[in-house]
Structure 1
Amino acid sequence: MSQTALKRNKHDRPYKRLPQGKTGGVQLLLIHNVEHLGKQGELVEVRRGYALNYLLPQGLATIATDHHRRMIEKHREKLRLVELERLKAFRAQADEIEKQSITIEANANDEGHLYGSVGAHEIVDALKQQGITLAQDQVRLQGPLKELGLYTVKIHLHSDVEADLKVWVVPTAGE
């Protein structure tokens, strides 16, 4: 065999034969739920770059072969039960969050305007002190909190589960 035949072309990829969808995208089978795309076990069509650079390397999807489709059908009930358990856990966490009320101290002027702002980072830190761990992207703010007062903040736990958290922004104790 010639040496050029042994060399691997830089454009060769392990997924060069991806199934083509109806609109020219790539057909994949979702292994996990992907927000704004689909649920576990669904057949989706995405752009090639999204498939190659995110979904396949992260293990969120697999190539939609007949074998994978049969495996999903075979285990669909088990997957549904696992998803129901996850939803139950998220709903329990949402109930726990809705019972909480957190207080965040911030520097403010006499009119109640903050010198800075309160964002998702401060809310996540305050919840962590109460034993609830969240990621910053789960806190859905309309914008940074820039005044003293009581705010209701949405906490996004799952595509089907959200919780409302009461956040008090108060002046620092020295004022």
Structure 2
Amino acid sequence: MKVVLLERVENLGTIGDVVGVKDGFARNYLLPRHKALRATAANLKVFEAQKEQIVARNAAAKSAAEKSAEALDGSTYVIIRQAGDTGQLYGSVNARDVADAIAEAGSKVERNQIVLDTPIKTLGVHSLKVRLHAEVAITLSVNVARSQDEADRQAAGENVIASQFEEDRLADEAAAADMLEGGAGAAMADAPYEA
């Protein structure tokens, strides 16, 4: 199907381009979201008549997105989730969770603007791309942790999971050394052997 684009669409074209796309992509995405019109003679005349208004509307939306981008670019948001000892989450963090965390911080981003190919399933600091406008994209960080203390440690650059394994290993070594030096077996060694 031939369509005329009403805004820039990534990997497709810019305003006013007449492009051929698959019917399903046009019917299910471009046309309902008012990103394109069918490229009929009547629609091309309408587009040419309204081109200045469409370009002005797009420029206004782009400038509003750039203002939002200044406030959001490079920011970090903390999301607290339950996770196992290996850092695997009991569930996942998706675009809706990230949008909710941004909203709690006082900014507004729609969940469909967050580019998240796969849900986040591990603890740590993850970088995400947010597309505020077809021509404006920013990067922000999401710090997924089990507690605020753990989030602070992760933000400082500490690998919380590796630190936990190291603490457990040291505790096990201390317990083994205590047993060898006379911990649990000391009482048995002092008692006389009775058969």
Q: Give the TM-score normalised by structure 2.
A: 0.60
Indicate whether 1:135 and 2:110 are aligned. yes
Distance (Å, rounded) in 1 between the aligned partners of 2:22 and 2:120 = 37
Stretch moving more, 99-108 or 60-69? 60-69
The equivalent of 2:87 in structure 1 is 112
Letter aligned with residue 21 of structure 2: V
Amino acid at match of 2:130: I
Measure, in 2, the Cα distance between the counterparts of 1:95 and 1:39. Answer: 24
Q: Cα distance, 1:127 vs. partner? A: 1.1
Quote how far apart the aligned CAs of 1:153 are: 1.0
Identity of aligned residues (%): 33
Following the alignment from structure 1 to structure 2, what is the Cα–Cα distance between the partners of residues 54 and 141?
A: 18
Contact conserved, 2:74 with 2:138, CA < 8 A, in 1? no
User: Residues 113 and 39 (structure 1 numbering): CA distance in 2 closer, same or farther, change over 3 Å?
Assistant: same
1:159 aligns with 2:134: yes
Aligned pairs for 1:1-175 (under 5 A) are: 26-48=1-23, 50-51=25-26, 55-56=30-31, 59-66=34-41, 68-98=43-73, 100-172=75-147
CA distance 1:103–1:45, shift in 2 (3 Å): same
Bigger fraction of residues in helix = 2
Q: Which has the larger radius of gyration?
A: 2
Equivalent pairs counted in the alignment come to: 150
Unaligned 5+ segments in structure 2 are: 151-195
The secondary structure found in structure 1 opposite 2:57 is helix
Q: SS of the counterpart of 2:73?
A: helix
Q: Tell me which amino acid in the other structure corresponds to 1:152.
A: S
Structure 1: gaps of 5 or more residues: 1-25
**Contact 2:127-2:139 within 8 A present in 1 as well:** yes
C-alpha distance in structure 1 between counterparts of 2:115 and 2:28, whole Å: 27
Larger fraction in strand: 1
SS at match of 1:95: helix
Distance in 1 separating the partners of 2:98 and 2:24:
35
Change (3 A) 1:152 1:28: closer
For the residue of structure 1 that corresponds to 2:126, the secondary structure is: strand
TM-score of the two chains, using structure 1 as the length reference? 0.66
